Structure 1
C-alpha cells in the first residue's frame, strides 16, 4: 500500500488459526544509505519474523532515488503514518497494539532510533542492526558520502548530519543493538556513544558486537547472501538472541 507520495508499505501477515489471537508486530526499515532501500533487509527479515510468530510490515520509505530533494521530516512522517495505519487497523491486522516494535538496518537503523524516541507511545522496543547513528566520526561520514551522487549530495548530507542520540529522552524505548567489529561503514564507536547516552538516561539497552563480518549482513545466512562473505554463522545468532531479549 502507498504511504504518502512515494513510500510503500508491504504487510507480511500470519495465517489466522485462532480468531481472537493477536500477534506482536515489527515495522522493518531496511538500509541503503537513504539512496535506495535494500531488498535483502526487507522481505527475508519479515519472513524470518513471521516464522517466529510476529506480524511484519516492511516500509520502503522515500529515498534519494525517488526524491533527490527529500527531507528527514518527510521520511519520519512516513514512519508515523505507518504506525498510525497499524494502530488504527490493529483488529483487522491481528496486531497486539501493546507489542509493536521497530527494527532498522544501517540507515534504517538511524531512522528507527529517531522514530523510536519520537513515537514512544506506540513503539515499545527498538532494534538497531549495524546502525548509522552519528556524523561525529568523520572517516565514516566520508565513506558514506562516497556513495552519494553529486546532485543528491546536499539533501543526503543534511540527513546524515542528524545525530540520533540527540533524540534520546527518558521516554526512549528499551533498545537492542548489534554490529560487527569489522564493519567499515558504520562505526561501533558511534554506537558506543549512543549506548552511553542511553545508560546515562537510564534506558535499558543490550549490545552485541561480533568480531567478524562486513557491513550489511542482514540475517547473515544463505537467505540473504548476495556476495561471498555474507554468511557468518556466529553473527546469524543475532535473531534468536533478539527474540529472547524482546520477550523478557
Structure 2
C-alpha cells in the first residue's frame, strides 16, 4: 500500500491548530466495570475519542454505556461493553516501538464489544513484540443509530485515519498500520479492508483527508457473509434489521465487495466453530483469490469459536499469533 505522503504532510500541517484544539477536550476513559479485578494486568491509561463534536447519527434516546463482568475467576477478567455513545480507542504503547501499529476490533456479535479476550489481551501480546495497539470500542448497529449498517465501519475508518494523523505521537510509520478483528469485529475488519474508500460519514477535520486502508487485514473467525444460509444470525439481524433485502445482504457482505486494491489478508478459522461457520472465511478467501489479492489462510480442525489467546492454549490453534506475525513480516508490517 502507498499512502500519498504529500497529502499526509499537508493534512498534518493544516491541522496543527485543529489537532491541539481536539486534544484540549478531555478524552473519555476506557470502559470500566463497577468492580475492577485482576489489578496486576496492564490497563490502558490513554484513550482517543473518535468524534470531538460527538458521534454522527446519535439516537433520540441515547443508550447508556454499561460494562458487564462475565468472569467468575477473580484473577481473569472477561468484560463486555454495550451502549457505546462515545466511540474511542484504548491505546497500548510498547516499551520499544517497532514503528508498526494494529487497530483491534473485538467481537461480541454486534450486541456488545468484548474488552479483554479479544481486545486488551491481544493488545498486550502485540506491545510485548513492539507493536502499538489501538483497541476500538465501536458503536453497535442495533442501538438506534442513523445509518445503522455503517456505524461500525464509520468508526473503523475514522480510527484508522486518526492513527495515521497522530503517527508522530506514537513513533509509528503511517504506512504500517494494520487491522485485526475477531468474530463480529472480524466483520468490521474485513469490511474496513473492503470498503476503506466508501464515504460513510461526512469529514470532520483534516484527519479525514488520509486513507483508511490498512496495510494488511487479519479477520479471525470472522462474521463475513450476510447470506442467511451461513450468516451468524444475531450479527445479521442487528446489522441489517428485520427482513433485509437481498441487495442489502450483498452490500454488507465483505466477500461481495472486495475491491481490486484490497490489502493482503490473513484468514483464520476453526472448522468446528459452531457459532460462525468456517464457510464465512472460505467465501472471503475465494473472493480475494478471484481478485488476485494475496491471502494466507489457516484452518484448524479444533478450536471452536472465540478462542482468542486464552482458549487456544494447549491446542494446535495456539500457534496462530506467531503464524500471523511471520506472515505480517512478508507484507511489510513488522
3-state DSSP class of the match of 1:23?
Answer: coil
Counterpart for residue 327 of structure 2: 245
Gaps of 5+ in 1: none
- Answer with 1 or 2: which has the greater Rg: 2
CA distance in 2, matches of 1:68, 1:216: 27
2:151 to 50, 70, 74: 74
Counterpart for residue 119 of structure 1: 196
Mapping 1:173-192, distance limit 5 Å? 173-192=263-282
Counterpart for residue 63 of structure 1: 140
Q: 1:119 to 1:153 in 2, by over 3 A?
A: closer
Q: 1:154 to 1:196 in 2, by over 3 A?
A: closer
3-state DSSP class of the match of 2:286?
Answer: helix
Compute the TM-score of the two structures, normalised by the length of structure 2. 0.63
1:10 to 66, 80, 90: 90
Gaps of 5+ in 2: 1-47, 56-84, 198-210
2:102 to 26, 29, 40: 26
**What is the deviation of 1:60?**
0.6
Counterpart for residue 205 of structure 1: 295
Q: Larger RCO: Structure 1 or Structure 2 (Cα < 8 Å, ≥ 6 residues apart)?
A: 1
Are 1:218 and 2:308 counterparts? yes
Q: 1:242 to 1:63 in 2, by over 3 A?
A: same
After superposition, give the CA deviation of every residue in 1:10-65 in whole Å (9 maximum; x if it has no partner).
111123x6xxx661000000001111001211000011011111100000101257
Q: 1:157 to 1:102 in 2, by over 3 A?
A: farther
Counterpart for residue 285 of structure 2: 195
Q: 1:153 to 1:114 in 2, by over 3 A?
A: closer
Number of equivalenced pairs = 230
Counterpart for residue 84 of structure 1: 161
Compute the TM-score of the two structures, normalised by the length of structure 1. 0.84
Give yes or no for contact 1:140–1:184 (8 Å, CA) kept in 2. no
2:227 to 130, 136, 146: 136
Give yes or no for contact 1:165–1:197 (8 Å, CA) kept in 2. yes
CA distance in 2, matches of 1:10, 1:156: 33
Are 1:108 and 2:188 counterparts? no
**What is the deviation of 1:171?**
0.6
Q: 1:154 to 1:247 in 2, by over 3 A?
A: closer
CA distance in 2, matches of 1:191, 1:79: 20
Give yes or no for contact 2:216–2:263 (8 Å, CA) kept in 1. yes
CA distance in 2, matches of 1:62, 1:217: 23
* Greater helix share, structure number: 1
Q: 1:88 to 1:235 in 2, by over 3 A?
A: same
The worse-fitting range, judged by mean Cα deviation, of 79-88 and 117-126 is: 117-126
Give yes or no for contact 2:224–2:231 (8 Å, CA) kept in 1. no
**What is the deviation of 1:232?**
4.1
CA distance in 2, matches of 1:132, 1:117: 14
After superposition, give the CA deviation of every residue in 1:196-223 in whole Å (9 maximum; x if it has no partner).
111111000011011112110111x3xx
Counterpart for residue 123 of structure 2: 46
Give yes or no for contact 1:11–1:58 (8 Å, CA) kept in 2. yes
